[in-house]
Amino acid sequence: MSRIDGFSLHSLGWLAISSVALFVLTSAGVRLSGLQMDLPWSLIAVLAVVGLPFSVCFHWLAQLDKRRPGGLGWPWCVAASATILLGWHHWFVWPFTAFMIWVWPRSGLKLANVRTLVLATITLIGGYGVVWNLNYLMMRYMSLDRFDPVMRAIDVKIYSLWFGPFTDLTGRFPLVDNRVLLQIFDNAYAILIPEVILLTFLFSQQQGQAPVAKYLRRLFGYYLVGIVIYFFFPVNGPCLYFPEQQDLARSLPNTVAFSNGMMHDYRMAKTGGHLAGFGYFIAVPSLHVLVAIFLQHLLLPFRALFRMFLPVNVLLCISTVVLGYHYLLDSVAAVVVYVAMGAFYHWSERAPRIVTEPEKVIAPVASGSI
């Protein structure tokens, strides 16, 4: 049965309930394992205060693109990309801009489907909470054997073609020293979760509950596959397994905060103690790259937004290596996983389904017609 008393098992409401239930269950598992969660309230506050205004701004641009004959031109798209890449860390810009759009009488901004947005937000919070909890539980109970030395050996061979033989990766990352370039890569890396929120907002405003539910099922499907791969092929990434490769003295504050937070939880997950809320230990495939490709694909129907976020997502993928979070092959693995899962989703949607609707069979008989 696909429905229980008219409540679809694939509906957004069911996803919200399931995500909360799984979050409570996995949180209990984390607690019973001897770990104590300390939520990163500063990060949550930033996402709450900035994520929604960021989504409002680009939802308005998507609406503006539809209203203008010929849509928004390349100058608009390039300006928006530059604003994200150069100005994301100036967080006050987004709520201020969203407020100005809201009060501007000629903006034409229309918001709807509040219930859908609330259910989607609950699903996102619960879903990411489950992902982080599963990261902690795997780190807690899995052996310390990792394939990181193999991945580093491959990196050394590849980097030796660039830096020369006998390459030493100690202190090599970030790969760039220019502060502007560092800020661009840092902003690109940090934009993933706000972009997830943006797609949630776009679908909830323009397409309704069913597309939002499908989007969120696939989003967390990618994370689930990443978790399964980690279970059989555990790789933590150079910033955790070989922290000496990252020179945090040359890194920007966001990179320092992410790296230190992950390292803290990486150690606490084994020894026990208070967690900082940075449960993100999977390197193969790069979940940042995997989800970025997914989001860029979903932006295809939104012509202007597709153009705006293309350079952002390309630089996001590159930033995972430049900033020292991932090995080179992690991104390749992400592309392979995305193609494989895309083929699976395509096959599953084209597969014939048997649908039984007894009420449509009974109705003609009850009316006396056959």
Name the band, by pLDDT with cuts 50, 70 and 90, for residue 356.
very low
pLDDT at 351: 65
Residues 334/283, Cβ–Cβ less than 8 Å: no
Least confident range from 144-158, 190-204, 342-356: namely: 342-356
Token pair recorded at residue 209 = 């509950």
Beta strand extents in the chain (DSSP E only) = 3-4, 7-8, 35-37, 273-275
Percent of the chain past pLDDT 70, that is, above it, reads 89
pLDDT at 6: 42
Average pLDDT, the chain: 87
Least confident range from 79-93, 168-182, 212-226, 339-353: namely: 339-353
Q: What contacts 20, CB < 8 A, 6 or more positions away?
A: 122, 126
Q: Is the peptide bond before 194 cis (omega within 30 degrees of 0)?
A: no
Token pair recorded at residue 143 = 């052996």
Cα–Cα distance, 81 to 72 (Å, whole number)? 13
Residue 193, phi then psi, degrees to nearest 5? -65, -45
pLDDT at 165: 80
Q: What is the pLDDT of residues 55-72, one digit of tens each?
A: 989 998 998 898 888 888
The DSSP-derived string for 185-234 is HHHHHHTHHHHHHHHHHHHHHHT-HHHHHHHHHHHHHHHHHHHHHHHHS-
Least confident range from 86-100, 173-187, 245-259, 290-304: namely: 86-100
pTM, full prediction: 0.89
pLDDT at 363: 38
- Eight-state DSSP code of residue 242: S
Q: Stretch 164-184: mean pLDDT, rounded?
A: 91
